[in-house]
Structure 1
Amino acid sequence: MANDGSPVAGATTEQPKPSAAKESNFYQKQYVSSFVEKWDELIDWDSRSKTEGQFFIDLLKEQGKETVLDVATGTGFHTVRLVEAGFDVTSCDGNAEMLAKAFENGKARGHILKTVQADWRWLNKDIQGKYDAIICLGNSFTHLFREVDRHRALAEFYAALKHDGILIIDQRNYDQMLDDREYSSSHKFYYCGEQVSAAPDLLEDNLARFKYDFPDGSSYHLNMFPLRRQYVADLLKTHGFQTITTYSDFQETHKTEDPDFFIHVAKKEYVADD
């Protein structure tokens, strides 16, 4: 990229010092257009659809939700799936390259997506109305490095929901990575592209820098804050979400040993104590 030291494609690309990359906006410099074009190779829409099944669709329908704000649209995988399932979805992302690719993917499948580029910390400045549900998937929340940014984003999510709305937010199993100081992925959920290697090349208590190697020899990096499962659940409660249910790779909590991902379902609806 430019002379700011941010990474570009290529296995020999010199990475910036970790201290220079621990900021909430750094992902904007890492999602370059060439990386975005390859992102669907990493996801593999068909494989992910099969392994994920109807999990999010069934969950939202069981809760009686209709309007959904996808705040981490990426290249549009979940937006398109929910649109095809009959939900009224608004696609939101902080990165213009990702949002453009999502619109392109939606159009290729016969859908015109409603897209909004917005920073989560000022989300309600750019969106209209309130939603039955907000989804923040693909390990996206871990792009926020500062504590104040995480609090600000969750406050914005809470304000954008109706009184009985729900927030669905996921994260990698950083607990295992931090405790064992190693990483393994089943490639069964989320990142299903078998030809793409994704693993941290730097792991610290406050930085997980993942490297993505593609078949053509290109490499890219993403920096994330390794959030622990209980920390996220406690943070959601701090912001007024009363009922938090956590799933491990689409199963009830702890039913899957060493899952790749945790999925938190947080309900805003007020429930009075007995």
Structure 2
Amino acid sequence: MTNTQPRQDFGQNPLQVRDTNHYTEEYVHSFVDRWDQLIDWDRRAESEGDFFIRLLKEHGAKKVLDVATGTGFHSVQLLKAGFEVTSADGSPVMLGKAFENARRRDHILRTVHADWRWLNRDVHDYYDAVICLGNSFTHLHDENDRRKALAEFYATLKHDGILILDQRNYDAILDHQIAPTHNFYYCGDNVRATPEHMDESLARFRYEFPGEEVFHLNMFPLRKNYVRRLLKEVGFQRVTTYGDFKETYRETEPDFFIHVAEKRYIEEGSDA
């Protein structure tokens, strides 16, 4: 069912909204229509360069499942680079926007409406890589949901596949009150994305657009080492973490962490 409600609804106390299922109510049409102002596709492409394309090619990936398609940015970038891409999202509103954006750029997306917790119920294939980008994994507020989603990602990967998952640097915000710079991920002009409330179980972000339009997202502030541990506990053999597209960084510098988790079995003591 398509979400047609015009406004977000967080109830009387928005700080109590710590529920995975609420995200479909957060991405209302009016917010999704403005999302690309926040991203700015051209500047985002320039800031990322060929980071993800190079990473996927280094691991021999050709067939990619984009599980957090959003408005389609990464799906389109990968299609342009020659990858075979399936685009999934839990928000039908986002999927519709992604399809429209891709068509405008002369690409047809293969889309699937899917909840990550039951991904393989709707996606019946195996992939060289799964990508979960745009801080999307932080929409999962419950640890069981996170473990279930990661297990579903793992199951849809081929034996030597990889998962690329990113997240905000919540460690810096929680521990040092360092506000995001938006140099890489949110490049839109005249648009602000700022943390409005932050504690160990809730990251509430405020998004301000021209015309005094304001929207919010309630997410879970994932710590970097916690995510790395979960990935390994689910079964991924090796996890490499980048900060803003660099493998070496000072802990407080990056806006985002990017985890590359390898499914391929690595024998103990092997550097392969």
TM-score interval, normalised by the smaller of the two chains: over 0.9
Q: Which runs of 5+ in 2 are unaligned?
A: none
Q: Distance in 2 between matches of 1:76 and 1:219?
A: 22
Q: Identity of paired residues, percent?
A: 59
Match for 1:218 among 202, 213, 233? 213
8 Å Cα contact 1:144/1:224 also seen in 2: yes
Q: What's the RMSD between the two structures over aligned residues?
A: 1.6
| 2:23 corresponds to | 27
Q: CA deviation at 1:40?
A: 0.1
Structure 1 position 238 matched with structure 2 position 233: yes
Q: CA deviation at 1:201?
A: 1.0
Per-residue CA deviation, residues 139-196 of structure 1 (Å, 9 max, x unaligned), is 000000001000100000000000000000000000011102x242322111111311
| TM norm structure 1 | 0.93
Structure 1 position 64 matched with structure 2 position 64: no
| 2:82 corresponds to | 86
Q: CA deviation at 1:254?
A: 2.4
Per-residue CA deviation, residues 62-121 of structure 1 (Å, 9 max, x unaligned), is 111000000000000000000000000000000000000000000000011000000000
Q: Distance in 1 between matches of 2:108 and 2:14?
A: 39
Q: Which moved more, 1:248-257 or 1:43-52?
A: 248-257
| TM norm structure 2 | 0.94
Q: May I ask how many residue pairs the two structures share in their alignment? A: 265
Q: CA deviation at 1:20?
A: 3.5
Pick closer, same or farther for the CA change 1:236–1:78 going to 2, 3 Å: same
Q: Distance in 1 between matches of 2:199 and 2:234?
A: 27
8 Å Cα contact 2:130/2:162 also seen in 1: yes
SS at match of 2:120: helix
| 2:222 corresponds to | 227
Q: Distance in 2 between matches of 1:7 and 1:231?
A: 36
8 Å Cα contact 1:249/1:263 also seen in 2: yes
Per-residue CA deviation, residues 22-67 of structure 1 (Å, 9 max, x unaligned), is 0101111110000000000000000000010000001101111000
SS at match of 2:179: coil
Q: CA deviation at 1:18?
A: 4.3
Match for 1:43 among 18, 39, 45? 39
| 2:100 corresponds to | 104
Q: Distance in 2 between matches of 1:215 and 1:140?
A: 24
Q: Distance in 2 between matches of 1:229 and 1:257?
A: 12
| 2:118 corresponds to | 122
Point out 4+ residue stretches in structure 1 off by more than 6 angstroms.
none
Structure 1 position 186 matched with structure 2 position 181: yes
Q: Which runs of 5+ in 1 are unaligned?
A: 1-5
8 Å Cα contact 1:135/1:167 also seen in 2: yes
